């Protein structure tokens, strides 16, 4: 019996690589694979699934208003044996429900790969719905810069500091342990506080009058 699978992990946990490897394994057995990704992900091209290790495959783009169940039904003549979705955190909750229907009514397995939370440790809407509806949920693990297990995503600014605001210029994402993220954030806040007091002292000195 087919299942809805959710494989999640932090940035750098080889989610896209696993998606492409899964595609290869099915195709090696002569099966047809429908590879997709949400339109929100355009880092390496809107219609490509790209992995950091160099693997890349063309993929169909999922628009926010697309009904995946209807598209699959209309393509029944091209019947797919398996569906693979990369960057699944960007799915709309309705998309996840439509994938669930495909699994139930067509007995076609669906594999979704994506992040669990953003850098603020808040669930993506698509990921939240996958946790609710998936038959199988598996964490893909990776290593933090300290050598331990990476647990959360940290948004790193151009100066290598952990960002706490949603908009940061020249920012990249990296898998980090929660403790390191908190320590770096505290360090950044301490530096800002120290700078404030230095500026305050300078202002006070300027205002001092000597008799």
Q: Write down the catalytic residue from 87, 139, 159, 191.
A: 87
Decide if 101 is catalytic.
no
Task: Tell me which H or E stretch contains 152.
Answer: strand 152-156
Q: For residue 143, what are the CA distances in angstroms to 9, 116, 117, 139, 150? A: 11, 16, 17, 13, 5
CA gap 36, 59 in Å, rounded: 5
- The conformation of residue 85, written as its DSSP 8-state character, comes to E
For residues 156 and 191, give the distance between their C-alpha atoms in angstroms, rounded to a whole number: 16
Which residues are known to be catalytic? 87
């Amino acid at each position: 019996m087919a299942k809805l699978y959710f494989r999640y992990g932090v940035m750098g946990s080889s989610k896209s690589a696993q998606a492409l490897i899964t595609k290869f394994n099915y195709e090696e057995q002569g099966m047809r694979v429908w590879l997709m990704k949400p339109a929100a992900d355009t880092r390496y091209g809107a219609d490509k699934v790209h992995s950091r290790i160099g693997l890349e495959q063309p993929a169909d783009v999922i628009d926010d208003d697309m009904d995946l169940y209807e598209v699959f039904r209309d393509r029944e003549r091209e019947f797919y044996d398996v569906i693979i979705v990369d960057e699944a955190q960007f799915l709309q909750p309705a998309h996840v429900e439509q994938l669930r229907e495909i699994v139930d009514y067509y007995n076609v397995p669906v594999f979704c790969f994506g992040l669990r939370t953003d850098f603020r440790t808040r669930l993506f809407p698509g990921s939240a719905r996958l946790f609710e509806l998936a038959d199988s949920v598996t964490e893909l693990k990776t290593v933090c810069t300290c050598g331990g297990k990476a647990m959360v995503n940290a948004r790193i600014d151009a100066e290598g500091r952990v960002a706490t605001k949603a908009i940061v210029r020249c920012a990249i994402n990296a898998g980090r342990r929660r403790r390191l993220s908190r320590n770096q954030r505290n360090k950044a806040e301490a530096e800002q506080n120290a700078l404030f007091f230095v500026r305050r002292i300078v202002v006070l000195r300027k205002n001092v009058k000597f008799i």
